[in-house]
Structure 1
């Protein structure tokens, strides 16, 4: 009986070691981020997270969303590299509506994005997020 118990424990140990090795090998690949997101900052009558921008690495898509009934629209901005040309997309569709934009980036691209509210044509600077860094391949 003792021999059978040792063999079972030995077999369980081998399976456990193999599983740990597989997890170790798989962990760098699972470190990729599928979505980067950032929201507006609350200011005055504008709520925190009233607007948002998400970047999806699988397909290089941006999603600019209006998350508030405040009447303001949302401007999503991005650039390639810290000194790249800024690209803006305005979403004035209203509350709970999003504007999808597809881009094509090199897998090695570093993307910076931010989001602000715009009300009656006036960009509300106090609601702007800071620039957030994202990676086209999802790995930093």
Structure 2
């Protein structure tokens, strides 16, 4: 996930890219660049960050509104992992917009299985009407 202010963005994105190149399909890059506006003045009603001077060194933290916005955006991405019914989620699974890696050998095997199912069904229903179900499936 890109940090909310963008620090180390390139490093985190490169880590995800390397993991995916090495075959990890569970990891994906979540771009948070448009989630918050860090340029809004701190004393504004719509500020999403504030400078916490109670710690040394002072750190930028999220306001209540900033936390709510992040929670809403993050929820849209993790909903399908948490929800009992995926259809209740407003966002597409990451595979849809990220894409899955294509393994040619696996794709060839899947095609073979589908062709074999089709061949056996044709054999069962159209070409061997005189045979019993077990004989047609074995054949």
Q: Shorter-chain-normalised TM-score: which range?
A: under 0.3
- Structure with the largest fraction of helix: 2
- Structure with the largest fraction of strand: 1
TM (norm. structure 1) is 0.25
The structure with more radius of gyration:
2
Q: Which fold has the larger relative contact order, with Cα–Cα distance below 8 Å and residues 6 or more apart in sequence? A: 1
